[in-house]
Each structure stands twice: as structure tokens, then as C-alpha cells.
Structure 1
Amino acid sequence: MEQIIRTQRPLTGVIRQLRPSDLPRFAEHLLRLDDQSRRDRFNGLTHDGFLQAYAERSFREGATVIGYVEGDKVLAAAELHERAEESEPTAEIAFSVEHKIQNRGIGGRLFQRLVAQARGLGYLRLQVTTHANNSAMKALARRFDAKLSFQQGETNGIIELDGAAGLDADWRASAVLGRRGAGKAIAA
């Protein structure tokens, strides 16, 4: 029996904060998500009109959006949305990675960058919510010491930033100084 060996193309993009002018690219990224990736990101099926409005609302309401960008396309994104109603500075986080580059470490790199950004903005706590079957998101959240709870078919996680794991000391120091992540190519 002959085995087919598939080689993945190398990742050549950069992880950077998306600018207001990147709104169309962010919306296109969300629209390219397959059904399962949309379920994972939004905890259910979504229609194209919702995704377009969501992208516009994210930029209009001041969310921080970090993207993995190759050429002129956003292929993955991590979002930081302030939860102003909380007593401590808190933000909700969310991630989306297009199917063709999933399981390549992009989610972890985006998570690191988002945590550094959240710290820089003075947040003390991050919240993440996903459906019970999103094992990739739950594993990623655990990597960063999220305390997970399960309620009514959803997984809720809290990450206390004063002790978040997953960032080594060198990364923390360089992130604080702003020397890592912005515009740096990712090696596969």
C-alpha cells in the first residue's frame, strides 16, 4: 500500500495588529471560515451578513484585533473586547483560524501576542467562551492557565494575567519592550 505524503506549504506571513484600513481583510477572513470554524468561533452557525456587521462593529467599538497576515489576506485573527461592566479591568478574547492553516501553531502565537497586548493595556483578567466540543480552544486556554467551567453546553474560561503561563521570560520582556511579534515572519 502506497502512502501519500502531503507537505504543508511554509507559513510566510506575519502576526501584527490590524489597522482600521484592514477592516475589509478581517471581514473577508471571517467570511472564508468554513462551517465548523464559524461554529468554533461564534458558538453556532452564522450568516454572512452577521459576519460583515460583526467585523465593522469590532473596529467601530475599539476592539483590539491581531491578525496572521499573508500577502494581502488575513488568515487568522485574535480579538480582545473590553468588558467595561466588570469590576476589574477585563476583556473577552476570541480566535479564528482558517481551516487550511489550522494545527500549525498560529493559534498559540496569536494567543501569546494577545496576552502581551492585554497586559500592555492594563487588563487583569481575560474571559473566553466556547462550545463544549471546541477541543482546540479548550486546550489553548489551558495552556495559558485558564480556569475552565462548563455551564449549559458552553465552556467558560478565566485567565488571571498576573500569573498567565505559556509566556517565557524572554518573550515577556521583549513583548513589554515591543520588540517581538510585530512584522516578524513566522517559521513553520
Structure 2
Amino acid sequence: MTEQGRTRALAGLIRRLRPSELRLFREHLLRLDHESRHDRFNSTISDEFVADYADRCFATGATVLGYVENGKVLAAAELHEQPQFDEPTGEIAFSVERKLQRRGVGTELFRRLLAHALSLGYTQLSVTTHPQNEGMKALARKFNARLSFRDGETVGWIALEPVTFTSHELRTALHPQPLEIAA
């Protein structure tokens, strides 16, 4: 389907990755093309760094949500606790493989990660990217991040306030469902 405004259901689901799925997360990060990897990590990094990073995510208890399709993670959202702050604070990060970029997957991952952060009692989230990552900056603004430029990076802060969910919204957040994205 190529008509503007039409959507199609993808075959995959967005869900929390299990510790046993570390390999799938690592493989996703390693498949990112050069530009996507640079956007995710704010610099050019080696495969060894990426593999070690994926291991650390699971070893330190980060929450990793993934868009999983046909046994592969094709996009991920991470929530890392930042215990150095007085307020319950998390840092968030996103990676979406090129073929799914700008099609709504990052937005849905962001929405679900925010709901998860709220359920864990976080009151603020940070996101950091390089100044040329217009996609991430636009995504962060969509969720009311206050962005500023500091030490060569764009830093965003999102204040989280408890929200009341309808029973349908709560079921949607808790149960994986096919994702509708732009064709």
C-alpha cells in the first residue's frame, strides 16, 4: 500500500524483552546502519562496544522494550535508572532500524516506555542525542521534552506526572498488540 495516509498492520509486537532475549537485542544494535548507530550512541562506535553495551543493559536491570517481528528485534526503547538524582529519574534511549524509521514505531515505543516509567514511579526522564539528530529531537518534543544544548549534545528532560488511564488504555499498555504504522 503506497497511498498517503493508509496504514497496515505489522506482523510484530512491541513488548518487554526477556533476559533470555539479550542476543536478539545485541543483534538489532549490531544491524543498525552507520547513521542509525551514530544517532543512537552519539558517536561512531565499534561492534565490540555495541556487544558490551547490550550485555550491560541486561546486567544492570535496564528495561528494554522491543518491536519484535519474525523472531528479530527491529527497534528498541531502553529505560536506565539514574540513581544519582534525588528524584526518581530514568534515562531513555531509542534505536529503530532504517526500514522502520519515520513510520510511527519510535513514537509507539516512546509512548509505551513513558507508561512503563510511570508505573515504576519515575518522576522525570532524560534523553540525550547529538544536535543533528532531528528525528530524535522531534520525537522528544512530541512528548513534551524540554530540550537544551549542553557540552556538544542536545539534552531533553521530560517531567512525568501520574495519569489516570481508562481500562482500555491500561489493557493496551499491558498487552502486546499488532502495531499499525504508515505504509
Given that 1:17 and 1:182 are in contact with CA atoms closer than 8 Å, whether structure 2 keeps it comes out as no
**CA separation in 2, counterparts of 1:128 and 1:175?**
29
Contact 1:80–1:92 (CA under 8 A) maintained in structure 2: yes
**2:18 alignment partner in structure 1:** 19
AA at the equivalent of 2:158? I
Taking structure 1 as the reference length, the TM-score comes to 0.88
Equivalence for 1:145: 144
Deviation at 1:179, TM superposition (A): 4.0
The count of aligned residue pairs is: 178
Residue matched to 2:173: 180
Cα distance in 1 for partners of 2:13, 2:49 equals 27
The residue matched to 1:14 in structure 2 has which SS? strand
Residue 70 of structure 2 aligns to which amino acid in structure 1?
Answer: G
Q: Assess, with a 3 A threshold, how the Cα gap between structure 1 residues 84 and 176 changes in structure 2: closer, same or farther.
A: farther
CA RMSD of aligned residues (A): 2.2
Distance 1:39 1:186, change over 3 A: same
After superposition, the C-alpha distances for 1:97-118 in whole angstroms (9 at most, x for unaligned) are: 0001111100000000000000
Q: 1:36 to 1:9 in 2, by over 3 A?
A: farther
Alignment of 1:118-137 (within 5 A): 118-137=117-136
For 2:126, give the aligned amino acid: Q
How far apart, CA to CA, are the structure 2 residues paired with 1:11 and 1:104?
11
TM-score with structure 2 length normalisation? 0.90
- C-alpha distance in 1, partners of 2:168/2:75? 20
SS at match of 1:133: coil
What is the deviation of 1:182? 3.2
Aligned to 1:154: 153
Residue type at the aligned position of 2:51: Q
Gaps of 5+ in 1: none
- Secondary structure at the aligned position of 1:13 is classed as strand
Gaps of 5+ in 2: none
Query: Which of 1 and 2 has higher RCO (CA within 8 Å, sep 6+)?
Result: 2
Residues 164-188 of structure 1, C-alpha deviations (whole Å, 9 max, x = no match): 9xxxx7xx43587454363211123
- CA–CA separation in structure 2 for the residues paired with 1:20 and 1:132: 33
Identity percentage over the alignment?
54
CA separation of 1:123 and 1:24: change in aligned 2, threshold 3 A: same
* 1:100 counterpart letter in structure 2: K
